[in-house]
Amino acid sequence: MADKKTAEQSLESLRQQIDALDNQLQGVLNQRARLAQQVAEVKLSEDSQAVFYRPEREAQILRRVKDSNEGPLDGETVARLFREIMSACLALEQRLKVAFLGPEGTFTQQAALKHFGHSVDTVPMGAIDEVFREVESGAAHYGVVPVENSTEGVVNHTLDSFMDSSLQICGEVELRIHHHLLVGDNTQEKSITRIYSHQQTLAQCRKWLDAHMPHAERIAVSSNAQAARRLKDEWNAAAIAGEAAAEIYGLKILRRNVEDRPDNTTRFIIIGRQGTPASGQDKTSMLVRMKNRPGALYRVLKPFSDEGVDLTRVESRPSRSGNWSYVFFIDFEGHRDDDAVRRVLAALEQDALDIRMLGSYPKAVI
């Protein structure tokens, strides 16, 4: 009996300490929020068109949090907590409007919330080029679009949209993608004759579908969330989408993790109207149109090799300026203001017909 009483007293003491720390945390968080409001006042006093969201500053804070974390919470968890704190404080300065490839419940929306936190207004758009137009017009501060998947490669529509756009890439997000087979309440697995999903998702689940649903018709739609939405009145259909879509559209998860590769990851980019200063750990994306002659790819790659600049991706797309002419989309490590990168650009200018910087931006932190 005495041991039980001692344990209860110990628990009560620990809970009181937790309550005291919670009060301290609340006070410190509100102090941080007041400082954020003061930052907004200073910026507006200097420039009525001030930019409040600073990708490089936020990336530096998140890296510092991860590097200095001593546990027992892991660095990723602590960084995500700080992500939401910064999101809430930024909303006191300016609540951001972020366009994404919709509808509600897509992985692109998850990527937007992972990058910006939940204190933003996310706006679904019907197509990738609509996301670009929403940001270009100023109707949204930023946009989020998919750019490549570890299984199926690049999203060509995103790359092509840059050919006619002046927008800048100002950030990136990497999201582990888990696909689930979703059905309505009245659908039995044996009755499924068709499966809806985005064509990239169908490709990422091809082997699973071949093994488990070889006779079901596979129908590509504009997004996974659109696939989930179509099940409302279809008793003999299923959709492949994420958990968020299942929750939003009231569907059951019949089979989990039907993607062929467990490490399936999609990279998303943040597009905006301003450039981003160096954060210390950056990437740069650019578009290069070369003269149509033998050795064009070699002439693109050689300056990077000469300067020791690491390439992370090279993708060619047909140019719209003439037959058999190509543009190269290139991602590499470093910022456009780095000395080595400046020398690469100077060398490329000797052979390229056109060079367009799509943006330098912080590497994904969380």
Place of tokens 């190269």: 328
Last residue of a domain, one of 272, 299, 317: 272
Q: What is the pLDDT of residues 191-235, one digit of tens each?
A: 999 999 988 899 999 999 999 999 999 999 988 888 998 998 788
Interatomic CA distance for residues 145 and 124, integer angstroms: 11
Domain total of the chain: 4
* pLDDT for 244: 87
* pLDDT for 1: 57
* pLDDT for 309: 96
288 token code pair: 């290069």
Q: What is the mean pLDDT of residues 161-167?
A: 89
Q: What is the mean pLDDT of the chain?
A: 91
* pLDDT for 50: 81
* pLDDT for 321: 62
The answer, yes or no, to whether residue 318 has pLDDT greater than 90, is no
Q: What is the mean pLDDT of residues 42-61?
A: 89
The answer, yes or no, to whether residue 157 has pLDDT greater than 90, is no
Judging by beta carbons within 10 Å of its beta carbon (0-12, 13-18, 19+), is residue 135 exposed, middle or buried? buried
In a domain, 51, yes or no: yes
Residues in the chain: 366
**Closest to 287 (Cα-Cα) out of 243, 262, 319, 255:** 319
Q: Within 10 A of 196 (CB to CB), how many other CB atoms are there?
A: 25
Place of tokens 């002419």: 325
pTM of this structure: 0.86
The C-alpha angle with vertex 50 and arms to 96 and 119, in degrees rounded to 5, equals 20
In a domain, 79, yes or no: yes
* pLDDT for 211: 95
The answer, yes or no, to whether residue 30 has pLDDT greater than 90, is yes
* pLDDT for 308: 95
Q: Which domain holds residue 331?
A: 282-362
Q: What is the mean pLDDT of residues 41-51?
A: 85
CA 227 to each of CA 103, 107, 189, 195: distance values in angstroms, whole numbers, following the listed order: 10, 13, 17, 8
In a domain, 14, yes or no: no
**Closest to 117 (Cα-Cα) out of 89, 154, 141, 137:** 89
Q: What is 56-94 written as a DSSP string?
A: HHHHHHHHHHHHH--SSS-HHHHHHHHHHHHHHHHHHH-
The answer, yes or no, to whether residue 87 has pLDDT greater than 90, is yes
Lowest mean pLDDT among 1-10, 25-34, 180-189: 1-10
CATH code of residue 290: 3.30.70.260
Q: What is the pLDDT of residues 261-293, one digit of tens each?
A: 988 899 999 999 999 999 999 999 999 988 777
CATH code of residue 238: 3.40.190.10
In a domain, 66, yes or no: yes
pLDDT band at residue 325 under the 50/70/90 scheme: low
Q: What is the mean pLDDT of residues 128-147?
A: 95
**Closest to 192 (Cα-Cα) out of 212, 177, 221, 173:** 212
End-to-end CA distance of the chain: 48
- Answer yes or no: do 149 and 77 share one domain: no
Contacts of 227 (CB under 8 A, 6+ apart): 196, 197, 198, 221, 239, 240, 241, 245
pLDDT band at residue 350 under the 50/70/90 scheme: confident
* pLDDT for 163: 84
In the β-sheet with 326-333, what is the strand arrangement from edge to edge? 311-318, 326-333, 282-290, 352-362
* pLDDT for 338: 96
* pLDDT for 295: 80
- Answer yes or no: do 286 and 328 share one domain: yes
The answer, yes or no, to whether residue 122 has pLDDT greater than 60, is yes
- Answer yes or no: do 173 and 185 share one domain: no
- In 3-state terms, what secondary structure has residue 291? coil
